[in-house]
Amino acid sequence: MAEPARLNARELRSWTGYHRMSARFAACLNQSLLKDAGLSYADYEILVALRECPEGRMSAGELRCELRWEKSRLSHQLRRMQERGLVRRETNPADARSAVVRLLDKGRCAIEKATPHHTARLRADLFDLLTEEQIDTLADISETVLAHLERREAEALPDGPHGIERIEREATGR
């Protein structure tokens, strides 16, 4: 690429602004949620997903897929939430490897208390400040970048260590 090594003024303004805003906004949301309902944003995401399910039950795999989380992150998070009595892990009779997560009363109570505050905060600190065009542009940008990252990672995987292992195995005739 023939592009200059440093960001230009437009890019720099956009990046520093975005970077500071996203960090601050996430911290702000987390704090509000903690104050209003004693939940972290990670807790909130789990509970929202579970609330949308019939009987508040969802397989851990679905949950991971829905939230795009790493499996170890989900495992740690569920352990902590289970210790606090928000959810419970149950064994899946259909497949002994997988697990089912159940929303407990305490968790349902917490999420119902938290949601209105959270929505109000999203409005007050984000959407009420923006025009409809800006809101749409933010969505467009996010989807563009997200699609790009997912495409890149999907391409990287087959050529990554996995692919190399396969090739080596074939080359040595194992």
Partner DNA sequence: TAGTTGAGGTTGACACATCATCCAATGGAC
Partner DNA sequence: GTCCATTGGATGATGTGTCAACCTCAACTA
Q: Which residues bind DNA (CB under 7 A)?
A: 27, 31, 40-43, 59-61, 64, 69-80, 89, 92, 95-99
Question: Counting contacts by CB under 8 A, is residue 22 touching a second copy?
Answer: yes
Query: Among a second copy, DNA, none, what binds residue 13 when CB lies within 5 to 8 Å by partner kind?
Result: a second copy
Residue 129 touches which member of DNA, a second copy, none, C-beta under 5-8 Å by kind: a second copy
Structure tokens at 87: 């959810």
Determine phi and psi for 102, rounding to 5 degrees: -120, 135
Q: Are strands 87-91 and 99-103 parallel, antiparallel or unpaired?
A: antiparallel
Nearer to DNA, 11 or 153 (CB): 153
Told to check if 116 binds a second copy by CB under 8 A, we report yes
Closest residue by Cα to residue 71 from 47, 97, 95: 97
Q: Where do we find the tokens 């303004």?
A: 13
Residue 160 binding a second copy, by CB under 8 A: no
**Alpha helices for the chain (secondary structure H):** 9-37, 41-51, 60-67, 71-83, 105-125, 132-159, 161-171
67 vs 104, beta carbon nearer a second copy: 67
Sheet with 57-59: list strands edge to edge. 57-59, 99-103, 87-91
Residue 1 binds a second copy (CB under 8 A): yes
Torsion of the alpha carbons at 124, 125, 127 and 133, rounded to the nearest 10:
140
Residue 156: contacted member of DNA, a second copy, none (CB under 5 to 8 Å, by partner type): none
The residues of the shown chain that bind a second copy, judged by CB under 8 A, are: 1, 3, 5-7, 10-11, 13-15, 17-18, 20-26, 28, 68, 115-116, 119-120, 122-123, 125-127, 129-130, 132-146, 148-149, 152
